[in-house]
A and B are shown apart, each in its own frame.
Chain A
Protein backbone atom coordinates (compact mmCIF):
# COMPACT_ATOMS: atom_id res chain seq x y z
CA UNK A 1 0.00 0.00 0.00
CA UNK A 2 1.39 3.42 -0.89
CA UNK A 3 2.26 5.76 1.97
CA UNK A 4 0.43 8.72 0.46
CA UNK A 5 -2.67 8.12 -1.54
CA UNK A 6 -3.32 10.00 -4.75
CA UNK A 7 -6.60 11.71 -4.71
CA UNK A 8 -8.52 13.29 -7.53
CA UNK A 9 -10.63 16.11 -6.22
CA UNK A 10 -13.52 17.47 -8.21
CA UNK A 11 -14.64 20.88 -6.99
CA UNK A 12 -18.32 21.55 -6.49
CA UNK A 13 -20.17 22.99 -9.45
CA UNK A 14 -21.14 26.61 -8.86
CA UNK A 15 -24.89 27.18 -8.96
CA UNK A 16 -26.24 28.51 -12.18
CA UNK A 17 -27.13 32.20 -12.29
CA UNK A 18 -30.72 31.49 -13.19
CA UNK A 19 -31.06 28.57 -10.83
CA UNK A 20 -34.02 29.84 -8.83
CA UNK A 21 -36.24 30.61 -11.80
CA UNK A 22 -35.23 28.24 -14.54
CA UNK A 23 -34.48 25.00 -12.76
CA UNK A 24 -37.34 22.68 -13.71
CA UNK A 25 -36.80 20.63 -10.59
CA UNK A 26 -37.11 23.59 -8.24
CA UNK A 27 -39.91 23.21 -5.73
CA UNK A 28 -41.55 25.84 -3.60
CA UNK A 29 -41.55 23.56 -0.59
CA UNK A 30 -37.83 24.16 -0.09
CA UNK A 31 -38.05 27.93 -0.47
CA UNK A 32 -38.32 29.41 3.02
CA UNK A 33 -37.11 33.05 3.08
CA UNK A 34 -39.37 33.86 6.04
CA UNK A 35 -37.65 31.27 8.20
CA UNK A 36 -34.24 32.56 7.18
CA UNK A 37 -35.23 36.09 8.23
CA UNK A 38 -36.59 34.89 11.56
CA UNK A 39 -33.43 32.90 12.26
CA UNK A 40 -31.18 35.83 11.42
CA UNK A 41 -33.19 38.08 13.72
CA UNK A 42 -33.14 35.57 16.55
CA UNK A 43 -29.58 34.27 16.39
CA UNK A 44 -27.73 37.15 14.69
CA UNK A 45 -24.14 36.27 13.96
CA UNK A 46 -24.64 32.57 14.75
CA UNK A 47 -26.30 32.28 11.34
CA UNK A 48 -23.66 32.32 8.64
CA UNK A 49 -24.04 32.17 4.90
CA UNK A 50 -27.39 31.40 3.38
CA UNK A 51 -27.17 29.79 -0.03
CA UNK A 52 -29.93 29.02 -2.43
CA UNK A 53 -29.71 26.52 -5.25
CA UNK A 54 -32.67 25.17 -7.19
CA UNK A 55 -34.96 26.89 -4.72
CA UNK A 56 -33.37 25.06 -1.80
CA UNK A 57 -32.31 27.13 1.15
CA UNK A 58 -29.19 26.00 2.96
CA UNK A 59 -28.29 27.81 6.15
CA UNK A 60 -24.82 27.56 7.63
CA UNK A 61 -25.00 27.70 11.40
CA UNK A 62 -22.30 28.33 13.98
CA UNK A 63 -21.33 24.88 15.21
CA UNK A 64 -22.00 25.31 18.93
CA UNK A 65 -25.49 26.80 18.37
CA UNK A 66 -26.91 24.03 16.19
CA UNK A 67 -28.96 22.45 18.98
CA UNK A 68 -30.45 25.83 19.91
CA UNK A 69 -31.33 26.55 16.31
CA UNK A 70 -32.99 23.15 15.91
CA UNK A 71 -34.94 23.60 19.14
CA UNK A 72 -36.06 27.07 18.09
CA UNK A 73 -37.19 25.82 14.68
CA UNK A 74 -38.99 22.89 16.25
CA UNK A 75 -40.81 24.84 18.94
CA UNK A 76 -41.62 28.06 17.11
CA UNK A 77 -41.74 27.19 13.43
CA UNK A 78 -43.00 23.65 13.22
CA UNK A 79 -39.83 22.02 11.87
CA UNK A 80 -40.58 18.97 13.95
CA UNK A 81 -39.29 16.22 11.68
CA UNK A 82 -35.62 15.43 11.14
CA UNK A 83 -35.59 13.58 7.85
CA UNK A 84 -31.85 13.17 7.54
CA UNK A 85 -28.55 13.93 9.17
CA UNK A 86 -25.12 13.03 7.93
CA UNK A 87 -21.54 14.01 7.35
CA UNK A 88 -19.68 15.30 4.31
CA UNK A 89 -15.94 15.15 3.79
CA UNK A 90 -15.03 18.21 1.73
CA UNK A 91 -11.31 17.34 1.83
CA UNK A 92 -10.28 20.95 2.32
CA UNK A 93 -7.56 22.45 4.49
CA UNK A 94 -9.92 24.31 6.80
CA UNK A 95 -13.41 23.27 7.88
CA UNK A 96 -12.93 19.90 6.36
CA UNK A 97 -16.09 18.23 7.61
CA UNK A 98 -19.64 19.31 7.25
CA UNK A 99 -22.71 17.95 9.01
CA UNK A 100 -26.05 18.55 7.34
CA UNK A 101 -29.47 18.51 8.95
CA UNK A 102 -32.49 18.10 6.69
CA UNK A 103 -35.50 19.34 8.59
CA UNK A 104 -39.12 19.24 7.59
CA UNK A 105 -42.21 21.05 8.81
CA UNK A 106 -44.88 18.51 8.10
CA UNK A 107 -47.87 20.79 8.79
CA UNK A 108 -46.55 23.57 6.59
CA UNK A 109 -45.07 21.30 3.94
CA UNK A 110 -41.71 23.06 4.08
CA UNK A 111 -38.18 21.76 4.10
CA UNK A 112 -34.97 23.35 5.32
CA UNK A 113 -31.34 22.32 5.33
CA UNK A 114 -28.91 23.39 8.03
CA UNK A 115 -25.19 22.82 7.85
CA UNK A 116 -22.35 23.15 10.31
CA UNK A 117 -18.66 22.91 9.53
CA UNK A 118 -15.85 21.60 11.69
CA UNK A 119 -12.10 21.29 11.39
CA UNK A 120 -10.34 17.99 11.13
CA UNK A 121 -8.35 18.66 14.30
CA UNK A 122 -11.41 19.32 16.39
CA UNK A 123 -14.23 17.43 14.70
CA UNK A 124 -16.78 17.84 17.47
CA UNK A 125 -20.39 18.88 16.96
CA UNK A 126 -22.97 19.25 19.74
CA UNK A 127 -25.61 16.55 19.57
CA UNK A 128 -29.24 17.34 18.75
CA UNK A 129 -30.61 14.14 20.28
CA UNK A 130 -32.15 16.28 23.01
CA UNK A 131 -34.21 18.04 20.33
CA UNK A 132 -34.78 15.32 17.72
CA UNK A 133 -34.61 11.77 19.06
CA UNK A 134 -34.31 10.53 15.50
CA UNK A 135 -30.80 11.97 15.33
CA UNK A 136 -29.50 9.22 17.61
CA UNK A 137 -28.63 6.58 15.02
CA UNK A 138 -27.74 9.12 12.33
CA UNK A 139 -25.17 10.68 14.60
CA UNK A 140 -23.80 7.26 15.47
CA UNK A 141 -23.48 6.48 11.76
CA UNK A 142 -21.78 9.80 11.16
CA UNK A 143 -19.30 9.04 13.93
CA UNK A 144 -18.75 5.56 12.55
CA UNK A 145 -18.14 6.64 8.97
CA UNK A 146 -16.63 10.11 9.29
CA UNK A 147 -15.18 10.27 12.77
CA UNK A 148 -17.13 13.34 13.76
CA UNK A 149 -17.80 13.24 17.49
CA UNK A 150 -21.16 14.37 18.79
CA UNK A 151 -20.76 16.07 22.14
CA UNK A 152 -23.42 14.97 24.62
CA UNK A 153 -24.70 12.02 22.60
CA UNK A 154 -26.14 9.46 25.06
CA UNK A 155 -24.60 6.38 23.40
CA UNK A 156 -21.96 7.25 20.83
CA UNK A 157 -20.90 3.80 19.68
CA UNK A 158 -20.04 2.69 16.18
CA UNK A 159 -23.11 1.93 14.10
CA UNK A 160 -21.93 -0.68 11.56
CA UNK A 161 -18.29 -1.54 12.05
CA UNK A 162 -16.77 -3.43 14.97
CA UNK A 163 -16.06 -1.33 18.01
CA UNK A 164 -12.29 -1.89 17.78
CA UNK A 165 -12.03 -0.78 14.14
CA UNK A 166 -9.44 1.99 13.98
CA UNK A 167 -10.40 3.89 10.84
CA UNK A 168 -13.26 5.97 9.50
CA UNK A 169 -14.08 4.48 6.12
CA UNK A 170 -16.05 7.31 4.54
CA UNK A 171 -13.18 9.74 4.91
CA UNK A 172 -11.72 10.44 1.51
CA UNK A 173 -8.21 9.29 2.37
CA UNK A 174 -9.50 5.82 3.28
CA UNK A 175 -8.87 3.36 0.43
CA UNK A 176 -12.09 1.91 -0.96
CA UNK A 177 -10.63 -1.60 -0.82
CA UNK A 178 -9.88 -1.26 2.87
CA UNK A 179 -6.73 -1.68 4.87
CA UNK A 180 -5.52 -5.29 5.04
CA UNK A 181 -5.64 -6.65 8.55
CA UNK A 182 -7.96 -3.99 9.94
CA UNK A 183 -10.96 -6.34 10.06
CA UNK A 184 -10.38 -9.87 11.40
CA UNK A 185 -11.94 -12.98 9.91
CA UNK A 186 -12.82 -16.15 11.82
CA UNK A 187 -10.21 -18.87 11.57
CA UNK A 188 -10.68 -21.87 9.30
CA UNK A 189 -9.27 -24.15 11.94
CA UNK A 190 -10.71 -24.74 15.35
CA UNK A 191 -8.25 -22.72 17.44
CA UNK A 192 -10.65 -19.94 18.41
CA UNK A 193 -8.36 -17.30 16.92
CA UNK A 194 -9.06 -14.75 14.24
CA UNK A 195 -7.17 -14.10 11.01
CA UNK A 196 -5.97 -10.66 9.93
CA UNK A 197 -5.36 -11.64 6.30
CA UNK A 198 -8.34 -10.59 4.13
CA UNK A 199 -7.58 -13.32 1.55
CA UNK A 200 -6.52 -16.39 3.54
CA UNK A 201 -7.95 -18.78 0.92
CA UNK A 202 -5.80 -17.23 -1.79
CA UNK A 203 -2.75 -17.46 0.49
CA UNK A 204 -3.00 -21.17 1.15
CA UNK A 205 -5.35 -21.39 4.10
CA UNK A 206 -7.12 -24.74 4.07
CA UNK A 207 -10.38 -25.43 5.86
CA UNK A 208 -10.23 -27.83 8.76
CA UNK A 209 -11.43 -31.27 7.80
CA UNK A 210 -14.38 -32.14 9.95
CA UNK A 211 -13.65 -35.78 10.52
CA UNK A 212 -11.74 -38.36 8.50
CA UNK A 213 -15.01 -38.97 6.70
CA UNK A 214 -14.75 -36.10 4.29
CA UNK A 215 -11.39 -37.09 2.84
Chain B
Protein backbone atom coordinates (compact mmCIF):
# COMPACT_ATOMS: atom_id res chain seq x y z
CA UNK B 1 0.00 0.00 0.00
CA UNK B 2 1.28 3.38 -0.85
CA UNK B 3 1.17 5.50 2.32
CA UNK B 4 1.55 8.70 0.38
CA UNK B 5 -1.83 8.23 -1.16
CA UNK B 6 -3.66 6.84 1.86
CA UNK B 7 -4.94 8.54 5.04
CA UNK B 8 -5.68 7.63 8.64
CA UNK B 9 -8.81 8.54 10.54
CA UNK B 10 -8.97 9.38 14.22
CA UNK B 11 -10.74 11.78 16.52
CA UNK B 12 -9.57 15.15 17.72
CA UNK B 13 -9.92 13.88 21.29
CA UNK B 14 -7.47 11.10 20.67
CA UNK B 15 -4.90 13.34 19.11
CA UNK B 16 -5.18 16.04 21.76
CA UNK B 17 -5.14 13.56 24.62
CA UNK B 18 -2.19 11.75 23.09
CA UNK B 19 -0.31 15.04 22.91
CA UNK B 20 -1.27 16.14 26.40
CA UNK B 21 -0.54 12.83 28.06
CA UNK B 22 2.95 12.60 26.61
CA UNK B 23 4.08 16.05 27.64
CA UNK B 24 3.02 16.48 31.26
CA UNK B 25 5.33 19.10 32.62
CA UNK B 26 5.44 18.89 36.40
CA UNK B 27 5.50 21.79 38.79
CA UNK B 28 7.83 20.48 41.52
CA UNK B 29 6.21 21.48 44.81
CA UNK B 30 8.99 20.03 46.94
CA UNK B 31 8.10 20.71 50.55
CA UNK B 32 10.10 18.09 52.43
CA UNK B 33 12.17 14.93 52.06
CA UNK B 34 9.93 13.48 49.32
CA UNK B 35 11.43 16.15 47.07
CA UNK B 36 14.67 14.15 47.05
CA UNK B 37 12.86 11.15 45.58
CA UNK B 38 11.11 13.52 43.20
CA UNK B 39 14.56 14.56 41.92
CA UNK B 40 15.46 10.90 41.50
CA UNK B 41 12.24 10.51 39.53
CA UNK B 42 13.47 13.15 37.11
CA UNK B 43 17.04 11.92 37.13
CA UNK B 44 18.74 9.56 34.66
CA UNK B 45 18.00 6.26 36.45
CA UNK B 46 14.21 6.47 36.81
CA UNK B 47 14.20 8.84 33.82
CA UNK B 48 10.86 10.60 33.67
CA UNK B 49 11.73 11.85 30.20
CA UNK B 50 10.62 8.48 28.83
CA UNK B 51 7.11 9.76 29.57
CA UNK B 52 7.73 13.32 28.43
CA UNK B 53 7.82 14.65 31.97
CA UNK B 54 11.45 15.52 32.44
CA UNK B 55 10.86 19.24 32.08
CA UNK B 56 10.40 20.48 35.62
CA UNK B 57 8.92 23.92 35.22
CA UNK B 58 9.56 26.25 38.12
CA UNK B 59 6.95 28.59 36.77
CA UNK B 60 3.34 27.57 37.39
CA UNK B 61 2.35 29.22 34.10
CA UNK B 62 4.12 26.52 32.11
CA UNK B 63 3.12 23.46 34.13
CA UNK B 64 0.44 20.83 33.74
CA UNK B 65 0.98 18.71 36.82
CA UNK B 66 1.53 19.78 40.41
CA UNK B 67 3.63 17.26 42.30
CA UNK B 68 3.14 18.06 45.97
CA UNK B 69 6.01 16.23 47.65
CA UNK B 70 6.14 16.39 51.41
CA UNK B 71 4.09 17.62 54.33
CA UNK B 72 2.29 20.91 53.95
CA UNK B 73 1.81 23.28 56.84
CA UNK B 74 -1.25 25.46 57.21
CA UNK B 75 0.88 28.49 56.45
CA UNK B 76 2.29 26.90 53.28
CA UNK B 77 -1.17 25.74 52.16
CA UNK B 78 -2.05 29.28 51.08
CA UNK B 79 1.10 29.52 48.94
CA UNK B 80 0.48 26.09 47.39
CA UNK B 81 -3.09 27.00 46.56
CA UNK B 82 -1.97 30.28 45.05
CA UNK B 83 0.52 28.51 42.79
CA UNK B 84 -2.15 25.96 41.85
CA UNK B 85 -4.50 28.78 40.90
CA UNK B 86 -1.79 30.25 38.67
CA UNK B 87 -1.41 27.06 36.64
CA UNK B 88 -3.32 27.07 33.36
CA UNK B 89 -6.04 24.51 32.66
CA UNK B 90 -6.02 21.62 32.14
CA UNK B 91 -3.98 20.64 35.17
CA UNK B 92 -3.54 17.62 37.39
CA UNK B 93 -2.28 17.06 40.88
CA UNK B 94 -0.34 14.25 42.56
CA UNK B 95 -0.12 13.96 46.36
CA UNK B 96 3.24 12.30 46.80
CA UNK B 97 3.89 10.39 49.99
CA UNK B 98 2.01 9.71 53.18
CA UNK B 99 2.31 13.27 54.48
CA UNK B 100 0.87 14.99 51.43
CA UNK B 101 -1.90 12.41 51.20
CA UNK B 102 -3.02 12.28 54.83
CA UNK B 103 -0.68 14.29 57.01
CA UNK B 104 1.25 11.09 57.68
CA UNK B 105 3.15 10.97 60.89
CA UNK B 106 2.70 14.72 61.38
CA UNK B 107 -0.51 14.40 63.35
CA UNK B 108 -0.17 17.82 64.91
CA UNK B 109 -1.59 21.31 64.97
CA UNK B 110 0.55 22.85 62.26
CA UNK B 111 0.30 20.36 59.38
CA UNK B 112 -2.63 20.01 56.98
CA UNK B 113 -4.01 16.46 57.25
CA UNK B 114 -3.92 15.76 53.53
CA UNK B 115 -3.61 18.31 50.75
CA UNK B 116 -7.00 17.20 49.38
CA UNK B 117 -8.41 19.57 51.98
CA UNK B 118 -7.58 22.44 49.68
CA UNK B 119 -6.49 20.92 46.33
CA UNK B 120 -8.26 18.57 43.91
CA UNK B 121 -5.91 15.58 43.99
CA UNK B 122 -5.95 13.10 41.11
CA UNK B 123 -3.49 10.47 42.31
CA UNK B 124 -2.22 9.64 45.79
CA UNK B 125 1.09 7.85 46.24
CA UNK B 126 1.68 5.94 49.48
CA UNK B 127 5.15 5.58 50.92
CA UNK B 128 7.52 7.44 53.15
CA UNK B 129 9.04 8.45 50.86
CA UNK B 130 7.76 6.63 47.76
CA UNK B 131 10.29 5.09 45.44
CA UNK B 132 10.81 6.95 42.14
CA UNK B 133 9.14 3.96 40.47
CA UNK B 134 5.99 4.68 42.46
CA UNK B 135 6.04 8.27 41.22
CA UNK B 136 6.42 6.97 37.67
CA UNK B 137 3.44 4.72 38.26
CA UNK B 138 1.41 7.69 39.46
CA UNK B 139 2.47 9.57 36.36
CA UNK B 140 1.30 6.69 34.19
CA UNK B 141 -2.02 6.75 36.05
CA UNK B 142 -2.34 10.43 35.22
CA UNK B 143 -1.55 9.64 31.58
CA UNK B 144 -4.26 7.02 31.53
CA UNK B 145 -6.68 9.47 33.07
CA UNK B 146 -5.87 12.05 30.41
CA UNK B 147 -6.29 9.55 27.58
CA UNK B 148 -9.80 8.77 28.80
CA UNK B 149 -10.96 12.38 28.98
CA UNK B 150 -13.43 13.79 26.48
CA UNK B 151 -11.84 17.17 26.66
CA UNK B 152 -12.21 18.75 23.27
CA UNK B 153 -15.69 17.46 22.63
CA UNK B 154 -17.10 19.13 25.75
CA UNK B 155 -15.02 22.25 25.14
CA UNK B 156 -16.60 22.75 21.73
CA UNK B 157 -20.11 22.10 23.02
CA UNK B 158 -20.00 24.69 25.79
Contact B110 A160 (CB under 8 A): yes
Contact A178 B109 (CB under 8 A): yes
**In the bound complex, CA of A210 to CA of B90 (Å):** 8
Query: A186 with B78: in contact, given A177-B107, A178-B109, A210-B90 (CB under 8 Å)?
Result: yes
Task: Verify if B151 is at the interface (C-beta below 8 Å from A).
Answer: yes
Task: Verify if A154 is at the interface (C-beta below 8 Å from B).
Answer: no
Task: Verify if A174 is at the interface (C-beta below 8 Å from B).
Answer: yes
Cβ 8 A contact of B108, one of A178, A185, A186, A215? A178
Q: How far does the Cβ of B17 sit from chain A's closest Cβ, in whole Å?
A: 11
Chain A-chain B contacts (Cβ-Cβ < 8 Å), number: 76
Q: Is the interface of A mostly helix, strand, loop or mixed?
A: loop
What sequence of 0s and 1s flags, for each residue 164-203 of chain A, a beta carbon within 8 Å of any chain B beta carbon?
Answer: 0000010000111111001111111010001100111100
* Nearest-neighbor residue (CB-CB) of A209 within chain B: B120
Q: Which residues on A sit within 8 Å (CB–CB) of B158?
A: 212
Task: Verify if B58 is at the interface (C-beta below 8 Å from A).
Answer: no
* Nearest-neighbor residue (CB-CB) of B79 within chain A: A186
Q: Which residues on B sit within 8 Å (CB–CB) of A187?
A: 118
**In the bound complex, CA of A188 to CA of B90 (Å):** 17
Q: Which residues on B sit within 8 Å (CB–CB) of A186?
A: 77-78, 81-82, 118
Q: Which residues on A sit within 8 Å (CB–CB) of B149?
A: 213-214
Contact B109 A183 (CB under 8 A): yes
Q: Which residues on B sit within 8 Å (CB–CB) of A210?
A: 89-91
Q: How far does the Cβ of B114 sit from chain A's closest Cβ, in whole Å?
A: 7
Q: How far does the Cβ of A195 sit from chain B's closest Cβ, in whole Å?
A: 8
Cβ 8 A contact of A161, one of B75, B107, B118, B120? B75
Contact B110 A212 (CB under 8 A): no
Q: How far does the Cβ of B71 sit from chain A's closest Cβ, in whole Å?
A: 14
What sequence of 0s and 1s flags, for each residue 42-85 of chain B, a beta carbon within 8 Å of any chain A beta carbon?
Answer: 00000000000000000000000000000000110110011001
Contact B155 A160 (CB under 8 A): no
Contact A183 B155 (CB under 8 A): no
What sequence of 0s and 1s flags, for each residue 130-153 of chain B, a beta carbon within 8 Å of any chain A beta carbon?
Answer: 000000000000000000010100
**In the bound complex, CA of A210 to CA of B149 (Å):** 14
Which B residues contact A (CB, under 8 angstroms)? Answer: 74-75, 77-78, 81-82, 85, 89-91, 107-110, 112-114, 116-120, 149, 151, 154-155, 158
| New A-B contacts (18) at CB < 8 Å, excluding given A201-B117, A212-B155 | A160-B75, A160-B110, A161-B75, A176-B107, A177-B108, A177-B109, A178-B109, A179-B109, A183-B74, A183-B109, A184-B74, A185-B77, A186-B118, A187-B118, A198-B113, A207-B116, A211-B89, A213-B151
